[in-house]
């Protein structure tokens, strides 16, 4: 068959596709990957939003098929996935298509959630320079007691390249998760993102954060609360320790008293106890015991005084008359 010319007789809106994509990426991609990429490009050009479920419905794929296609194109460097701190997909950025020889190593293949998100063109961002770190992978395998799979290796390089963790901080992160019995790399990634958002840069800061985290959960358990502490509750705990200067033992004593007194608003009730102790100069558990003893003596004295007042009053309620026995005797004789 000879060459044929392709002409257009219609005036329709178009989606531009790079020649580099056709020349260098098209042949290696499968049917699902090509359809997903082209549809993302079309949605980006029109400024419309889409979602994993929309893409699955559009081409009669499973959502896993769509997720694998997105992960493939991210690996090729043609898109980047924007994830929240919980791993929720919030956006897709279409990258400039460059020849494969100039393509760099991509970031983590993220797990997808299914909200609607925008597909946008992103040309200004530059990928972080990647450096292989076999020694760090060896350390991770030692902590976790197994050979790492491809996604787990990518997670470590994501933490290294994108979150810019130092080797010491990655080492501490892996040790922290392994010691906690959390050997799922999804958990490792979530902890890393949380530390990154809090500006933690070294193991010392991470240790302080870990200690604060454990303290918060200890307080929550003592108050009979099983949920994770909210930011508001964490501010209370921080105030009790740093502003009031109470040790964990004193705080837990206040928690125990709170539980005996109320079933609702326990954080606020406990805050009231600790605030009163702080104003009274109470610092240690020994101070608490002394204050309790003083209070008990005061109450006993007060009760004794009240009982004494009650007896005196009852006695004084009777009218105290003075009788003249001679006059009474005379009156009785006169009657006779």
Domain containing 74 — which CATH number? 1.10.10.10
Q: Please say which residue of 122, 138, 171 terminates a domain.
A: 122
Provide the domain count of the chain: 3
What lies within 8 Å, CB to CB, of 71 at 6+ separation is 109, 110
Beta-bridge mates of residue 82: 91
Count of residues for the chain? Answer: 336
Do 49 and 136 have their domain in common?
no
- 326 assigned to some structural domain: no
How high is the pLDDT of residue 306?
Answer: 60
Residue pair 91/64 in contact by the 8 Å Cβ criterion: no
Q: Say yes or no: 23 and 74 in one domain.
A: yes
The answer to whether residue 69 is domain-embedded is yes
Q: How far apart are the first and last CA of the chain?
A: 162
Same-domain check for residues 142 and 76 = no
Q: Do residues 106 and 143 both lie within one domain?
A: no
Q: Concatenated DSSP letters for 296-331?
A: HHHHHHHHHHHHHHHHHHHHHTS------HHHHHHH
Residue 228 CA to residue 231 CA, distance in Å, equals 10
Note the pLDDT of residue 116: 53
Task: Report whether 249 contacts 277 (CB < 8 A).
Answer: no
**Statement to judge: residues 163 and 193 lie in one domain:** yes
Low-confidence ranges of the chain (pLDDT < 70): 1-13, 85, 100-128, 304-336
Q: Is residue 11 domain-resident?
A: no
Residues 6+ apart with CB under 8 A from 67: 52, 111, 112
Do 91 and 151 reside in the same domain of the chain?
no
Running DSSP on this structure, what letter comes out for residue 163? S
CB 159 within 8 A of CB 173: yes
Distance CA 70, CA 119 (A): 12
Domain with 115, as residue range(s), is 19-122
φ and ψ of 274, to 5 deg? -65, -35
Model pLDDT, residue 7: 45
- Taking the C-alpha atoms of residue 157 and residue 107, their distance in angstroms, rounded to an integer, is 8
237 and 186 in a common domain: no
23 shares a domain with 108 = yes
Identify whether residues 190 and 251 lie together within a single domain.
no
Of the residues 122, 144, 176, the one at which a domain ends = 122
Q: What is the CATH number of the domain that holds 161?
A: 1.10.10
Q: Domain check: are 26 and 102 in the same one?
A: yes
- Assess if residue 295 is contained within a domain: no
Cα 210 to its chain centre, rounded Å, is: 13
Residue 336 has what pLDDT?
52
Q: Is 313 inside a domain boundary?
A: no
Cα–Cα distance for residue pair 252/261, rounded to 1 Å: 14
pLDDT of amino acid 20? 86
Query: What CA–CA distances, in Å, run from 69 to 30, 65, 109, 120, 281?
Result: 9, 6, 11, 17, 64
Query: Would you state the pLDDT for residue 327?
Result: 63
């Amino acid at each position: 068959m000879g060459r044929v010319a392709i002409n257009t007789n219609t005036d329709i809106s178009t989606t531009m596709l790079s020649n580099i994509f056709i020349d260098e990426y098209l042949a290696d991609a499968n049917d699902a990957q090509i359809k997903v990429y082209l549809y993302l490009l079309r949605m980006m050009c029109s400024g419309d939003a889409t979602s994993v479920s929309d893409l699955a419905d559009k081409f009669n794929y499973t959502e896993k098929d769509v997720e694998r296609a997105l992960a493939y194109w991210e690996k090729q460097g043609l898109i980047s996935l924007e994830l929240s701190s919980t791993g929720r997909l919030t956006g897709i950025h279409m990258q400039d298509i460059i020849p494969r020889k100039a393509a760099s190593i991509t970031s983590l293949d993220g797990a997808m959630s299914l909200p609607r998100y925008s597909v946008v063109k992103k040309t200004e961002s530059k990928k972080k320079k990647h450096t292989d770190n076999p020694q760090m992978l060896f350390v991770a395998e030692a902590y976790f007691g197994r050979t790492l799979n491809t996604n787990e290796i990518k997670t470590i390089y994501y933490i290294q390249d994108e979150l810019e963790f130092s080797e010491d901080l990655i080492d501490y992160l892996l040790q922290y998760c392994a010691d906690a019995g959390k050997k799922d790399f999804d958990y490792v990634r979530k902890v890393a993102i949380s530390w990154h958002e809090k500006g933690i840069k070294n193991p010392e800061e991470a240790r302080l954060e870990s200690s604060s985290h454990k303290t918060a959960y200890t307080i929550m358990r003592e108050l009979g609360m099983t949920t994770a502490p909210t930011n508001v509750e964490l501010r209370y705990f921080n105030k009790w320790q740093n502003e009031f200067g109470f040790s964990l033992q004193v705080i837990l004593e206040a928690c125990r008293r709170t539980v005996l007194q109320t079933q609702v608003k326990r954080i606020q009730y406990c805050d009231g106890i600790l605030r009163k102790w702080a104003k009274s100069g109470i610092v240690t558990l020994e101070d608490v015991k002394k204050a309790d003893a003083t209070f008990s003596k005061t109450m006993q004295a007060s009760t004794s005084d009240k009982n004494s007042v009650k007896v005196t009053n009852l006695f004084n309620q009777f009218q105290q008359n003075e009788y003249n026995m001679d006059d009474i005797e005379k009156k009785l004789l006169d009657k006779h």
